[in-house]
Amino acid sequence: MSGERLITSLTNDTVKAVRALHMRKEREQSGRFLAEGLKFIGEALDQGRAPRLLLVGQDARPHPLLDRARSETLKAGGEVVAVTHPILAKISRKENPQTVLGVFDQAYTDLDAIDPTTAPAWVALEQVRDPGNLGTIIRTADAAGAGGVILIGDCCDPFSTEAVRATMGSVFAVQIARASVEDFLIWRARWPGSVIGTRLDATHGYRDAPVRAPALILMGNEQAGLTDRLAAACDLNVKIPMRGRADSLNLAIATGVMLYAVTEKS
């Protein structure tokens, strides 16, 4: 850590600014977000995304990936600072925090900049409210080879600490876009493949849906499901059968089922 600025005070302005990133208002105003852990930061570096600020605990063990993170952060014009364990715990809100934290710039893709043909499937989420669900869906979209996730209407923040943690680094690997219902419907009219909605009252099963790639999978809110307006904008609505006592699936699991059902046909 030779040459790195050392921060030991919990009231330091840099510490305050990083801690504030737990609040959505501050993330939106700054355009930045917090990520925890060396593995996570390595995923970012692999996608060409260096931290704006790298915080390294005084007790962090030497590691080639940490050396790379320091080097690429500085090369990109970011800052590397050494911090004490109490500061790491305060920022991460954990008694046993990760020894490396990173502050990154948020990256949204404009809806009109999306090229549907670059992936076999994409996901659009209407008013998703649970950040853990959203992060898991982003991770699942990455695993299934989907191009990205589009957030429609009033959704939770994909760059909240909980959502980012649930992505396991996939927040850097897939495109994330956001749109109002009106803008989404205008854009959807130009979609070159199938647009498939999920509804419990649909007649088609999710496995027999005729799919024309690239597929756009629409998933609704955790409680209310897909609204009538967006369901009407789909080429086809399908259902995942409930064979036991449960009357629905968790949104992230249902999205995973749909993604693999669709991409296996492409």
Contact in structure between 177 and 114 (CB atoms under 8 Å): yes
Residue with tokens 């099963």, as numbered in its chain: 205
**What is the side-by-side order of every strand in the sheet holding 53-57?**
5-7, 79-83, 53-57, 100-105, 32-36
β-pairing verdict for 121-126 and 53-57: unpaired
pLDDT score for 103: 98
What number of other Cβ atoms are within 10 A of residue 152's Cβ? Answer: 25
Distance CA 231, CA 233 (A): 5
The architecture (CATH level 2) of 111-263 comes to 3-Layer(aba) Sandwich (3.40)
Predicted local distance difference test score (pLDDT) of residue 226: 93
Name the nearest CA neighbour of 184 among 173, 197, 171, 174.
197
Q: Could you tell me the residue ranges of all domains in the chain?
A: 5-105, 111-263
What whole-number distance in Å separates Cα of residue 30 and Cα of residue 16?
13
5-105: CATH topology is 60s Ribosomal Protein L30; Chain: A; (3.30.1330)
Q: What is the pLDDT of residue 203?
A: 83
Tell me, what's the pLDDT at 3?
A: 58
Please check whether residue 102 is in contact with residue 70, taking contact to mean a CB–CB distance below 8 angstroms.
Answer: no
In whole angstroms, how far apart are CA 7 and each of 56, 57, 229?
A: 10, 10, 52
Cα gap 14→18, rounded to integer Å: 6
Whether residue 171 contacts residue 145, with contact meaning beta carbons closer than 8 Å, is answered with: no
Q: What pTM does this model have?
A: 0.94
Instruction: Give the number of other CB atoms < 10 A from CB of residue 122.
Output: 27
pLDDT tens by residue, the chain, 266 residues: 445 899 999 999 999 999 999 999 999 999 999 999 999 999 999 999 999 999 999 989 999 999 999 999 999 999 999 999 999 999 998 888 999 999 999 999 999 999 999 999 999 999 999 999 999 999 999 999 999 999 999 999 999 999 999 999 999 999 999 999 999 999 999 999 999 999 888 888 888 878 899 999 999 998 888 999 999 999 999 999 888 888 778 999 999 999 999 998 76
Which residue's entry shows tokens 């904008």? 233
What is the H or E stretch that residue 195 is in? strand 195-198
* DSSP letter, residue 118: G
Q: What is the pLDDT, as a whole number, of residue 1?
A: 47
Residue by residue, DSSP assigns 52-73 as: SEEEEETTPPP-HHHHHHHHHH
CA-to-CA distance for 140 and 254, rounded, in angstroms? Answer: 11
